[in-house]
A and B are shown apart, each in its own frame.
Chain A
Amino acid sequence: MFKQFQSARIVILPAILFIFNNTTVKAQDKAATLHQLNTLLINTVMVDFFTPPVASRIYSYPNIAFYECIRQDDPALPSLAGKLNGLKNIPQLPANKKTDPFIAACISFTYVAQNLVGSEYKIADWRTAFTDSLLANSDSITARNSIQYGHRVADSIIAWTKKDNYLRSRGMSRFVLSERPGSWQPTPLEYAQALEPHWNTIRPFTLKTVSQFSPKEKLPFSASKSSSFYKTMMDLYDLTQKLDTVKKATAKYWDDNPNVAINIGHLSYFIHKISPGGHWIMIAQQACRKKKESVTRSSLAYALTSIAIFDAFISCWDEKYKTNLIRPITIINRMVDKHWEPYIQTPPFPEFTSGHAVVSNAAATVLTEMFGTDFEFTDETEIPFGNESRHFKSFYKAAYESTMSRVYGGIHYPETARISIGQGKMLDYMF
């Protein structure tokens, strides 16, 4: 699919003058508006503490809605209808009415987003301020037409979201723990029940089947000291015994756990951070900002990145619950060292494969396609979470670091990290 967008890369959009609240707004400010919308969405997802797979769903649909509107500014950009599973019949731009695709795009983004988040008011408030300023403007007829059209696109996207099996999956049974040796067990501190065990029933955007990119290499559990499982477990144990400050900082930097539980007796609370998917959406944003991409190109970057992340979660989660592998904390406590603890908190789902690794490598693949193999960037996503900014030589370097951070953090085996990178990059084939 990606190949079809190659042409878009060379199209340089004319700077469209946009009248906004009696001020002349350049195309660059439209891109800024899209960045602002995505930041708002990510912050809302964080406040509502959606889990990483569910968050990936929330990032994607609004960005697809935005793209479907804004692409109509550029004939070179195709519709995603017919290209993403189940997506068809996006309402066409009304031929006889003056309509602004950018306004429609913003409006459709907000309606779709509002339909997916918990704190709807945060999105609705943004839209109210946006429309108020539009309607105060002299050309309020175009504004009205655009709002109407954006709403219609949103409705068609929302109708599409309703059929992705998400709602049905809410009512599915909880995960039943297996007694088989080496199977996943709930982990401290919360011992939370297995998260999204039925995520592989969600309709992917581009995958033909959820296990299309299931890695051929596996990591079967074995207590035998000569097994590759035992070896990689011991490698992890040895590595975490001498964790230096650099590795610790890396583990913290890419922790991206939306819901770290802290328990000090009854004093329990959660530290909410951006999810792995959200982190990569922010990396896409920073790449767009650095390259001063137009709103159209930025929208393409957001849509493709979020689509890749969404499918990566489905692919990874399918693998997780099929292999149902025990986490390092459980098995190391039982077999090696009863006092061992990982440096970061273990999230509540099976170990194989690594969600962060698959997602990061899938996102990096898309971004590399768009921005090039040696695109350097500075990632400031983690500053609000108490970390320094980090400079990366390329998207794949960042993805590799995030993959290894799970090993340093003590929540994934080195072998799993290696295999997961392959799984994430395989997802490239869908474009």
Chain B
Amino acid sequence: MTKRINCLFIFFIMGFAFLTVQAQQGSAVKQFALLPESITGVGFRNDIRETAAMFFYMYENLYNGGGVSIGDINNDGLPDIYFTSTLGSNKLYLNLGNFTFKDITEEAGVNGGDGIKTGVSMVDINQDGYLDIFICKSGFKDPNLRKKILYINNGNSTFTNRAAEYGLEESSFTMQAYFFDYDMDGDKDVYFVNHPFDFSKSMTVQATTVNGKEVYIQDTNTVYVSDRLFENRSGKFTDVTKKAGLINHTFGLSASIADINGDGWPDIYTANDFNKPDYIYINNRNGSFTEKLTAYINHVSFSAMGSDISDFNNDGHEDIFVVDMAVEDPVRQKQLFAVNQNYDKFNLMLKFGLYYQYPRNTLQLNNGNGTYSEIANFAGTAETDWSWAPLFADFDNDGWKDLYVTNGLKRDITDWDYKVFVLDSIMNSMNRGKAVDLNTWLKSIPTVPVKNYFYHNNGTLKFDNYTDVWTDAPPSFSSGAAYADLDNDGDLDLVVNNVDGPAFMFKNNSRELAPASSNF
């Protein structure tokens, strides 16, 4: 879901406030120290409690988890944190300094309401100098439960939902909103990454004959399904998707906004799950976009999820990273191996323009001449398990952007032992007329938390796995993540939204551990 959380508002205040490094019990201080609730005051957990009315069978993206957004909502120089909770109450934590926070959700009036909350963005939509909060929803069939929320900052740490007023209340099945100025008129427009509600056709490649030619059957029902572009017209947002040529029918899970063709105008990269390939919507500079993936990219991830665009090799050209579900550990890899593609289906997909798609992460290195080379295997970042948010950022202040990838799915529904044997016996007893209660079923699905990946950029187009070097963080089901210098000490701290566990509050100790060499 909020695969990639827009970190539009990261406040970097280079200070020399050397905090006392939190001594960790019995081990050396790691670069990323995981601070407990007792120190930070952040007790947020995204607990997903399934009920007969809502579990993964009703909505496949249920375990995608929640988002994080970081920004200074009260202009006191300290970045504050907003978490979305899939089924529970969202939380807003005010930064009190020294890595301590206070839950002000109720006073601020920003709990997000009912429904399945997905991505969150902080953006000053009305340009009054105060960050507003925008929340997306998905998952429930009832459109009322999917109405988006725009919390306008009242300037006194309280907020009022004015989504309807701004024309942004619409009820698409939305993963994340991306605020950017597509028409270069000086205000922020917004792009919603949406997806169909019916997942049963996500893997089919049906064709028909039109004028003697076999063509792929495009689904024409795009209401609530297609991605949406809304243009900001003096504070009122208008749906311009059709005019902009952006109607689609994809299981979009994230987008990244960047100038892909180098003409100074923002383009859109959308990462699409399942059969549809990713899209690159090139901005035509006249209010419309044209999809040109194949002009730039040789192949993409099959189950594309989170994405990030960043110049990781410092050559002045932005590179694209998209995460998938490939597993690094050989045993687990075989246990979860997906069979959604085979040689014949691959060819069928090619024939019908669904392009070259492979089930692993893809790292598209921008060659600087309008072409990209896919180097995830070479770079060592191809397999990071069921992955959500990839974030490029220089975590050790050495001038090279490192990479953090959150991952984990609450229930391994693709586990072969479960799919083939356990589920069989459950279905058999159901067929014999025995009622199987939901909890028995759910408990039979393996639940395996995994470690998020820290990759250190070694400056040679390669990344080293620094997961255990930089943290002691336990395995988790992590979804949204965002970085910011929360304590204004000159390095990037990290906040991660976890399913069924406390959010990770990582304090970056780069400055404290190496005061001389990390002084960027």
Contact = CB atoms under 8 A, between A and B. Distances in A.
A264 B199 contact: yes
A334 B209 contact: yes
Given A191-B344, A271-B427, A333-B217, A266 B414 contact: yes
A193 interface: yes
A385 interface: yes
A384 B433 CA distance: 9
A272 B428 CA distance: 9
Nearest to A175: B344
B420 A49 contact: yes
A199 to B, nearest CB: 18
Given A189-B204, A190-B339, A338-B217, A265 B60 contact: yes
B203 interface: yes
Contacts of B205: 188, 191
Contacts of B348: 185-186, 191
A232 to B, nearest CB: 19
Contacts of B251: 265
A167 B128 CA distance: 75
Interface residues of A, number: 33
Given A264-B57, A270-B419, A338 B342 contact: no
Contacts of A193: 342-344
A333 B419 contact: no
B206 A264 contact: no
A264 B55 CA distance: 13
A192 B346 CA distance: 11
Interface string A312-330: 0000000000000000001
A188 B208 contact: no
Interface string B247-274: 0000100000000000000000000011
A192 B339 CA distance: 9
B206 A333 contact: yes
B344 A177 contact: yes
Contacts of B430: 386
Contacts of A265: 60-61, 199, 202, 251, 273-274
Contacts of B340: 263, 268
Contact of B204 (A185, A188, A194, A335): A188
B132 to A, nearest CB: 33
A334 B207 contact: yes
Given A177-B344, A186-B344, A188-B206, A263 B420 contact: no
A267 interface: yes
Interface in A166-212: 174, 177, 185-186, 188-194
Contact of B338 (A266, A333, A338): A266
Contacts of A426: none
B208 A192 contact: no
A260 to B, nearest CB: 11
A383 interface: yes
Interface in A139-187: 174, 177, 185-186
Interface string A377-400: 000000111100000000000000
B199 A267 contact: yes
Contacts of A335: 209
A267 B303 contact: no
A65 B107 CA distance: 79
Contact of A264 (B200, B427, B428, B432): B200
A324 to B, nearest CB: 14
A242 to B, nearest CB: 22
A384 B209 contact: no
Specify which of A49, A266, A338 lies most central, judged by the most chain B CB atoms within 10 Å of its CB.
A266
Given A193-B343, A333-B208, A335-B209, A267 B424 contact: no
A191 to B, nearest CB: 4
Contacts of A383: 431-432
A268 B419 contact: yes
Interface of A: 47, 49, 174, 177, 185-186, 188-194, 263-272, 330, 333-335, 338-339, 383-386
Given A191-B344, A265-B273, A266-B413, 18 more contacts: A188-B203, A189-B204, A191-B205, A191-B342, A263-B202, A264-B199, A264-B202, A265-B199, A265-B274, A266-B303, A269-B419, A269-B423, A272-B420, A333-B207, A338-B217, A339-B217, A383-B431, A383-B432
7 contacts: A192-B342, A193-B344, A264-B202, A271-B427, A272-B420, A333-B208, A334-B207
Q: Closest 4 CB pairs between A and B? A: A338-B208, A265-B199, A191-B345, A265-B60
